[in-house]
Structure 1
Amino acid sequence: MITDWHTLNREPSLPGLYLRAATRRKITGTTLPDSGLRCWVDVDPQRLAAYRNVCGYADNGLLPPTYPHILAFALQMQLLTAKDFPFPLLGLIHLSNRLRVLRPMGAVNRVRVSVQVQNLQPHAKGATFDLVTTLGDQLGSLWEAESRMLCRGVKLEGEPLEQVLDSTLPLSEVAHWKAPSDIGRRYARVSGDYNPIHLSAASARLFGFPSAIAHGLWLKARTLAALVDHLPAASLEIMVQFKKPVRLPSEVTLLASAAGSSGDLRLISAGELEHMTGHWRPLA
């Protein structure tokens, strides 16, 4: 597919995009748009510091490997609420996330963010697509990621392809932390992601959840912050699948194992309830 790229002069404004998302509740088609969005974005040091604080990252002079998601969020929102995007944004389910750090992200002050959607596939509960995001500077590509999203109720022809991540290394406890009742609101303030299912029990119940649940990308960020001593600064791929939601408040345990430059991870809570599985690998 050839992408029809549109370059924006500035980051989109989130309030208007949230209003657009709130008023779109119907599936309008089964074809993804071939358009993509690009924009140069400045790294705000205060927002970066607040993000590190919420996610547990130390300031090592590098952008955290999950921070490009924050830089791209407004652009992603504009893409997913555009008239030619066929699925309602509210109700999309984040199934998995794969990111690749191509070069060390130090002294990064201004980046070009690109977002597009592709790879529409049938799923047992609807259809999935990949939200693809890339980050670059004047020297070229720095970082790239695919977030696999599920839209329930979409009917596509074909057999669903299931993606399974199995741990192959022995795992042991690496970290244990609390996910407090307000972490959804705290993460929303630094990320811009004010999805109601994360903010409070009252707002989550409007969408069928008995309590607020933690953001999947906060769980991934908090996990990578705990694994910082195991992860190289670049030439790295990190893949996770999101399992059962983490209801707030909760306590979770991170299990991990490293073998050279590779490792597996698993995030669980009481009763061996599995919330996230994944691995990290060197780039070929």
Structure 2
Amino acid sequence: MEILSPQNARVKEWALLLEKKHRDKQHKYLIEGIHLVQEALRSGADIECICYEKENGIPAELSSAAAARLDVNWIAVSEAVIAKCSDTKTPQPVFAVLRKADEQVQMKSLLNKDRSLVVVLDGVQDPGNVGTIIRTADAVGADGIIVGSGSADIYSPKVIRSTMGSLFHLPILRSQLSEILPQAKEQGIRLAGTSLQAAVNCYEYDFTGPVWLLFGSEGGGLSEEVRALMDDGLIIPMRGQAESLNVAMAASVLLYEGLRQRYFN
């Protein structure tokens, strides 16, 4: 199959996915580039179609997947179609349209998981920070990420690029934190977050039980509503003169301490 005109109705529908309101409406999103498409294929993501530049054909790195994934619709498209569906100045030769996962099923699994280690984002707005936190959570083997309102959209092109494919390796769910966090507490899950008023050094805290780590906005930290639900305040010790750590770096410190205690203690 091939689609060469950027005025094609399907192409117009794909291009709309560059905007959040249309991603939410269609329950779909775009990914761009060979690496991200490879990761989506390897991870068994729900792919509607993969579009590649007709002139160059299916990229060699994806040719074996093209033969194996019979459930995926592969479409040859023109450079003009690729340009219309990209938010970058130099578009990649391949992009894919994916369907979003069933978040309710995944949320239930997270709440019931034994000794879960989960990241909760409360108004983290910078796409680069959100993407870095997702990559770090993937690296340490965290069980999932919950994204509250006010945070960057996890399906925006900038966030997806900065995850480097980690988006497909663990559940990333959007939720109202005022609803899901009390449910977690009822399950015996501890809610911990960084706090300048905290009495507990993060290296003395017990990360071996079920714990969800709360991270707030770059400017204001956790919202009052979420801070009120927090069980344990943690402080990251600093010997130098820096006032604070970037939220993605703070998340990395706590997640790696959790990894150390769970697997290398």
User: Does the TM-score normalized on the shorter chain lie above 0.5?
Assistant: no
Q: Answer with 1 or 2: which has the greater Rg.
A: 2
Under a length normalisation based on structure 1, what TM-score does the superposition of the two structures give?
Answer: 0.23
Under a length normalisation based on structure 2, what TM-score does the superposition of the two structures give?
Answer: 0.24
More strand by share: 1
More helix by share: 2
